[in-house]
Amino acid sequence: MKTALTILRRIASAVPSLVGVVVVTFLLARALPGDPAAYYAGSSATPESIASIRAHLGLDRPLPAQFVDYVVRLFNGDLGMSVSSGKPVAEDLTTRLPASIELTGMALVFALVIGLPLGVIAATRPGRMADHVCRLIVTVGAAFPTFFVALMLMFVFYYKLGIAPEPLGRLSDIYYSLPPPVTGLLLVDTLIAGDLPAFVGALAQLALPSISLGLFALAPIARMTRAAMLTALSSDYCRTARAMGLSSGRIVFGYALRNALLPIVNVLGMVFSFLLGANVLVEQVFAWPGIGAYAVNAVIASDYAAVQGFVLMMAILYVLLNLAVDLIATAIDPRVRYDG
């Protein structure tokens, strides 16, 4: 009961933020350079045809009237039609969102698998060679922009070594049978279909994009793990455990790491939300059909409906992600309460 009330309270507190996102996104989309009617009409269109398309799209109406129409359609679950794709924006987003979530999730898994042990090793050997080496690895990994790492990996593994799977994208239907769409996540859908070769193929396609994106998330995870572990290891309960003669492994993993999980989970939520919005360049480099590439094309085409739908969906995802982080933090430490 308390968990349900917490969820409802958190959702209610996010409503004003979502209203602000709707208003600001609507105004900023209209401030984009270019004319979607001219883009839709083509380079050989006449002023009369452009004006006709603008009237058909409702762009000749006053801004207040356009905003009211937009809000009414939002309440009906209609995000509008995309000028660039010719499909409903909601259909485009739901089709592309699983690809971005899969890429971001794998990047976060990669960063967690590497960053968490690095942070623990650095915290258990502060000031020693292992600590300096871990911090050097983290610093170098975060120093290069994601697009530079993506281009470098593509140059090495595609051009020089020729061992990366081709063509670019999620999974080629030339070499594999695409699984029936259940969740939209190819790794999950291939397992549900029992198609192990397709699962391996989808995992191979994910490797380079997720590493490119995950290297940037490595630094905050490793640094937060190191700081949280140092605080936990210097606490009274760890000193008591040492005095009782417990092994160092049990102290580190049984006591310190468990109590350091709360700040680590909090930073994981922030890193995931950041990666989900920052994977635009990686998706462009690897031709990944996610929402980042979709948003870039929408901005170039001045596609108002697509831009508004993308920003609104990202805001909703951010609210849901924060809610999930709050609930996980409460499960880790029942003393934590999010009543705001």
> What angle do the packed helices 186-193 and 196-233 form, to 10 degrees?
130
Number of domains making up the chain: 2
Q: Domain check: are 178 and 321 in the same one?
A: no
In the prediction, which pLDDT does 172 show?
Answer: 74
> Domain check: are 93 and 60 in the same one?
no
Q: At what angle do helices 257-278 and 304-332 cross, to 10 degrees?
A: 180
* 329 and 288 within one domain: no
Do 163 and 209 reside in the same domain of the chain?
A: yes
Reported in sequence order, the residue ranges of the chain that DSSP labels E, i.e. its strands, are none
SS3 17: helix
Give the three-class secondary structure for 245: coil
Same domain membership, residue 96 and residue 70:
no
Kindly give the confidence (pLDDT) of every residue in the chain, 340 residues in length, as a single tens digit, with 9 standing for 90 and above: 566 676 677 777 777 877 887 888 777 767 766 666 666 666 666 777 777 777 766 777 777 888 888 888 888 877 877 877 778 888 888 888 888 889 888 998 998 898 888 888 888 888 788 788 888 887 777 777 777 888 888 888 888 887 777 777 787 777 777 888 888 888 888 888 888 888 888 888 888 888 888 888 888 888 888 888 888 888 888 888 888 888 888 888 877 888 888 888 888 877 887 787 777 888 888 888 888 888 888 877 777 778 888 888 888 888 778 777 777 777 766 665 555 4
Of 303, 317, 245, 340, the residue nearest 84 (C-alpha): 303
- Same-domain pairing of 122 and 40: no
Domain that holds residue 326: 1-84+306-340
If asked whether residues 39 and 93 sit together in one domain, one would say no
Is residue 50 domain-shared with residue 189, that is, in the same domain?
no
Residues 43 and 126 placed together within one structural domain of the fold: no
